[in-house]
Amino acid sequence: DQQVKQNSPSLSVQEGRISILNCDYTNSMFDYFLWYKKYPAEGPTFLISISSIKDKNEDGRFTVFLNKSAKHLSLHIVPSQPGDSAVYFCAARVLGNTGKLIFGQGTTLQVKP
Amino acid sequence: EAQVTQNPRYLITVTGKKLTVTCSQNMNHEYMSWYRQDPGLGLRQIYYSMNVEVTDKGDVPEGYKVSRKEKRNFPLILESPSPNQTSLYFCASSQGRRYEQYFGPGTRLTVT
């Protein structure tokens, strides 16, 4: 059972426009949500995170929104750049002592020049 | 340069032949973890370690072993690999369980 879901396998946007990547979760026992970005032949790299007690976190062009009642989070990239083209994974950290992360399936973002 | 390294990067092997994928980090991180990435499933945790000699199972530990004898190293051992272990494997480390994890470049394993 997939506890963290990214229902859109791919997204294509024009350079300069907004990219919105979505993620849904089914378990309330998460204390942090994270977004990772992955280029081909490389490992995922941390992008931005949000605590479960917040509803928004912003870092430059990247903003993550958390809607706890809907169990939904989204990553906004504004403005999108061709270098943002990558696979984006959302992840949720399990509450407790393990540091365990549950990942979504990933969304491939293509930003067209 | 702060990094997580994995070796080998690519490996093709046959069913039943024991193999080890090494993972090393130079950031003095306490927490280390192994994941496998499969199409449509994202990354799934295999094993994790919160410190030297402390390891525990993740979501998909069957068929894998790990050890943590030194802080910097966390090898993944497949005693008798099977074709369903064909996957892309990532090692990760973090300062502690509450910090973001840094990933290695990945090891693509094919078991025939």
Residue A1 has a pLDDT of 66
Q: Read out DSSP for A33-73?
A: EEEEEE-TTS--EEEEEEETT-SEEEETTEEEEEETTTTEE
A28–B contact, CB cutoff 8 A: no
What's the CA gap between A93 and A50, in Å, rounded? Answer: 10
CB atoms within 10 A of CB B40: 8
A101–B contact, CB cutoff 8 A: yes
Quick: pLDDT tens for A93-112.
888 766 788 999 999 999 99
Residue A78 pLDDT > 80, yes or no? yes
Residue B95 has a pLDDT of 85
Residue A82 pLDDT > 90, yes or no? yes
CB A109 within 8 A of CB A85: yes
Q: Is the peptide bond before B105 cis (omega within 30 degrees of 0)?
A: no
Residue A97 has a pLDDT of 65
Q: Tokens 């090891």 — which residue?
A: B107
> 3-class SS at B61?
coil
B5–A contact, CB cutoff 8 A: no
Quick: pLDDT tens for A6-32.
999 999 999 999 999 999 999 778 989
> In this complex, do B42 and A103 lie within 8 Å of one another by their Cβ atoms?
yes
Residue A2 pLDDT > 80, yes or no? no
User: From the list B31, B98, B103, which residue is nearest A44 (CB)?
Assistant: B103
Residue B100 has a pLDDT of 83
User: From the list B44, B98, B105, which residue is nearest A42 (CB)?
Assistant: B105
CB A93 within 8 A of CB A28: no
Task: Choose between A41 and B36: higher pLDDT.
Answer: B36
Q: Which residues contact B91 (CB under 8 A, 6 or more apart)?
A: B4, B6, B21, B23, B25, B32, B33, B34, B35, B74, B76, B103, B104
Structure letter (DSSP) for residue B62: T
Nearest residue of A to residue B93 by CA position?
Answer: A99
- Cα-Cα-Cα-Cα torsion A41, B36, A81, A56, nearest 10 degrees, comes to -160
Name chain B contacts of A106, Cβ cutoff 8 Å: 42
To which H or E segment does residue B97 belong?
none
Name chain A contacts of B48, Cβ cutoff 8 Å: 98-100
Residue B1 has a pLDDT of 82
Q: Can you read off the two tokens belonging to residue A26?
A: 């089914």
Residue B98 has a pLDDT of 66
Residue A41 has a pLDDT of 87
Between A and B, how many residue pairs show a Cβ–Cβ distance under 8 A?
Answer: 60
Residues of chain B with pLDDT under 50: none
Return the closest-CA partner of residue A28 out of A76, A96, A79, A83: A96
